[in-house]
Amino acid sequence: MNKTWFITGASSGLGKMMAERLLARGDRVTATVRREDALADLRQTYGDSLSVAKLDVTDTNGIRTTVDEAFQRMGRIDIVVSNAGYGLFGAAEELSDAQIDQQIATNLTGSIQTIRAVLPHLRRQGGGRILQLSSEGGLIAYPNFSLYHATKWGIEGFVEAVAQEVAPFGIDFILAEPGPTATNFAAGLMRATPTDVYDDTPAGAVRKALDSGDFAIKGDAGRTVDAMISAADSKTPPLRLALGSTAYENIVRELSKRLAGIKAQREIAFSADQDGSNETA
């Protein structure tokens, strides 16, 4: 049975590739882009199966209008893909205030407002699914990506809570967590002006690896998109979907270390309870 999709940030990368594969199998897609001509090739091939809307996700009113129009036009949207976002690269003190504000407005606030805008529609139609593009960087952290991680850790916490709120309405979520993947992500990075004080630090090492091409990128974009579509198609998808061996290994290692660290603090943790409240622990 054919499905209807709403995808933000579909101008290029994983978003555009997902739209193309969905259209090729006969689904209908509303795709949002920042450049009106970004999907001209797909519109020519797939005609009315593809609707394109110009949208900057930092414009909350624009999000609401675009979402309302998409649901009115398509009647029902089965899966919403909140994909719009980009990376901000630089040590925390190198970043400008404007860069920080733009990163948060796009990756975090934009994703939050997209989800908020679609929820009433999904609830009224009796359910639906939201696939939020996160990253392995929603659970781990690299030097030089502090603000990017702040947005991805933030959207993961938001989704964790909202998923519980709307589950009774038949609405569920997938947090897609790709590792480094061969897309145009690196080319689209917004960069801070580097300072030489970080040259001989972990931040400097990551910068050198990225600039030299030594930063390992194992993820395949096409296979990543296929895995996301497959998860979105399934009856019971996972809340979190790690994509790529790098993401899997990094997340398992970090969560195992974090769990071991918190378990070692059990006595301290319980000592902070009120007297008598942990007698049966």
- Confirm whether 271 is a catalytic residue: no
One-letter amino acid at 175 equals L
Q: Which of 46, 142, 148, 198 is catalytic?
A: 148
Amino acid letter for position 24 = A
219 secondary structure, DSSP code: B
Q: Token pair 């998409």 is at which residue?
A: 70
Amino acid type, 281:
A
What lies within 8 Å, CB to CB, of 204 at 6+ separation is 198
Q: Is 148 a catalytic residue?
A: yes
CA distance 116 to 110: 10
Task: Give yes or no for a contact between 70 and 77, defined as CB atoms under 8 angstroms apart.
Answer: yes
Of the residues 11, 12, 51, 152, which is catalytic? 152
| Percentage helix, strand, coil for the chain under 3-state DSSP, each rounded to 5 | 50, 15, 30
The Cβ of residue 138 has, within 10 Å, a number of other Cβ atoms equal to 25
Q: Give the integer Cα–Cα distance in Å for 34 and 57.
A: 9
Query: Is 134 a known active-site residue?
Result: yes
Cβ neighbors of 273 (< 8 A, separation 6 or more) are none
Site of tokens 């991805």? 152
Among residues 134, 135, 142, 146, the one annotated as catalytic is 134
Query: Is residue 53 helix, strand or coil?
Result: strand
Rounded Cα gap, residues 62 and 56, in angstroms: 7
Catalytic residues: 134, 148, 152
